[in-house]
Structure 1
């Protein structure tokens, strides 16, 4: 799946040409660059109370040209939602219908995913409903369940049937339990592309990370951690560089980050997962992640893969 061939001028123009007409608009306050489009695979409606208008302005200010909105499952008083604590993905995120309607009204700038609480009896029909409506992935799966449970495997089987990726939030003792066993799912569902995200996923780029309770480790990284091995050994394991954990994985050890981005240049995709309203400045983690990717990519080709081409290929955009 990895290629070291440079991106040809013809390929680049073909990949970006569709954006030239649509984004050469004089959007007030926008820094969208149609010549270098960015796909953000991880954003939410109603994020921590942020309005949709502010979310849209935030995306444009960051320079994002295509956004995938990831819905929450329904609000339930289940153990899998920590008895309501984790409803709305624990950030008040909107659900399937909100994301679908907003994406439909703002196409092609906005796309959408599909999600549901895995052990809700109607989970599979609910997710399938939105896949039939055009959802680009299943996720964000952020629930207090074992990653290899029967309920989760039904979701993986659905993803395989519809040929869509699955995005999972990994957080030790909180969400998607059993990260150390997940290689078995990668082996069992080799046709499903899995996107790893959040604290436990990014903490485990480091081989020297013995205490899984530490969610935001600092300092130098010793290559060869579980995340690094999964991405190296399994063609269907990808990384979603989003959230504070994704940004921290780049900034904690810049020398390691340069090597990591080069090694996994075909397996990494940019996401913001940012609830900021401005879209710029030190408080905007999403903009900071874009800046870090640009700074730490060893070549323009690697930068463009992570910010655009890898997502374009995965989601067939």
Structure 2
């Protein structure tokens, strides 16, 4: 075959292979409306820059704003209705309010696909956690929980009891205490540990032992868990590839650079995932397994 003909053939074959491969789909299960004042337009630009196909908006309850000036169910629903191809949403309310179930079920009926972000002053062994799980179980939706030592969803070491009590409810863990406890040597008061990881922490074990425990990779806490010890992270991603779900939870408007933990976590997953099939699970398929997205 003449050289110029061979080059043309190889170029054509390469192009055909590229066309045959499906484009990478990334679902982001963790973003907020009006996050520290960010506009809808800036949020959309941020998600587009990161290459997000679908974003799950997590509303605040009727007060506290998730300590991030995030807005509630109605604002999320407004954006979902304006851009249904780009956004879907969870439903949320302060769980120790009497109307928790009524409010959450109202928005589930309007199309919400989960409950959260539950970032409130709750003990995981309290009746309030039972209330959250009972509503989730009755409606067949997952719950996304922010675990933070001595503040939100406390007594994380006892969360295995909740997982065992509600095996039909999928729980998605997130935030500092969840991600710091990949390490069996975690010092609970330190929310962003930087030392090397000893495998076998609470999070590692919950993901291994309970089919209904999943992990939201978002925010600085998720990113820190992946970057602090690359050897551990690579093994962790490999063994929990069926449980890890991509989320961003960053409040910047750029969608790139050092202030955007979401784009950095995308890059980390591409680096750490053992193969393209695992990466697709993390970016797309695990989210679809847990929620109707």
TM-score by length of 2: 0.91
Distance 1:108 1:148, change over 3 A: farther
Match of 1:52 in 2: 40
Match of 1:174 in 2: 151
Match of 1:118 in 2: 95
Is the aligned partner of 1:143 residue 2:131?
A: no
Size of the aligned set, in residue pairs, is 273
* Unaligned runs of at least 5 residues, structure 2: 1-21
* Unaligned runs of at least 5 residues, structure 1: 1-33, 76-86
Is the aligned partner of 1:161 residue 2:138?
A: yes
RMSD: 1.2
Q: How does 1:7-26 map to 2 (within 5 A)?
A: none
Aligned-pair CA distance for 1:108 = 2.2
Aligned-pair CA distance for 1:316 = 3.0
1:271 to 244, 247, 253: 247
Match of 1:93 in 2: 70
Aligned-pair CA distance for 1:138 = 0.2
2:282 to 290, 306, 313: 306
Partners of 1:147 and 1:56 lie apart in 2 by 34
Determine helix, strand or coil for the equivalent of 2:214. strand
Aligned-pair CA distance for 1:157 = 0.6
Partners of 2:37 and 2:201 lie apart in 1 by 36
Deviations 1:19-49 (A, max 9, x none): xxxxxxxxxxxxxxx8111000000000011
Match of 2:185 in 1: 208
Deviations 1:110-133 (A, max 9, x none): 000011111111111001101111
TM-score by length of 1: 0.84
Match of 1:295 in 2: 271
1:252 to 201, 205, 228: 228
Match of 1:69 in 2: 57
Match of 1:238 in 2: 214
Match of 1:134 in 2: 111
Aligned-pair CA distance for 1:292 = 0.5
Match of 2:3 in 1: none
Partners of 2:175 and 2:32 lie apart in 1 by 15
Match of 2:24 in 1: 36
Is the aligned partner of 1:315 residue 2:269?
A: no
Name which one, 1 or 2, has greater alpha-carbon Rg. Answer: 2
Aligned-pair CA distance for 1:300 = 1.1
Partners of 1:315 and 1:104 lie apart in 2 by 19
Partners of 1:220 and 1:302 lie apart in 2 by 24
Match of 1:229 in 2: 205
**Poorly superposed stretches of 4+, deviation over 6 Å:** none
